[in-house]
Amino acid sequence: MNVIAFLIPLALFMSLVGLGAFIWSLRSGQYDDLEGEALRILDDDDDKPLVD
């Protein structure tokens, strides 16, 4: 029973920390441009001229 009295507040604290981190990431713009980053890796930079 002593273990449950320790684990419940610990679980609540850890969930609040996780929720706070998620809200911080939303406000800092981590999820603003999902398509741009996904398509940027496919760009080969073929527009640059080759130096001979």
Q: Distance (Å, rounded) from C-alpha 2 to C-alpha 6? A: 6
What confidence tier does 8 reach under pLDDT thresholds 50, 70, 90? very high
Length of the chain: 52
Residue 10 in this model has a pLDDT that exceeds 80:
yes
Q: What is the H or E stretch that residue 6 is in?
A: helix 2-27
* 28-51 per-position pLDDT tens digit: 988 887 777 777 777 766 666 666
Q: Write out 19-50 in H/E/C secondary structure.
A: HHHHHHHHHCCCCCCHHHHHHHCCCCCCCCCC
Residue 26 in this model has a pLDDT that exceeds 80:
yes
pLDDT at 33: 78
The residue among 15 and 2 whose pLDDT is bigger is 15
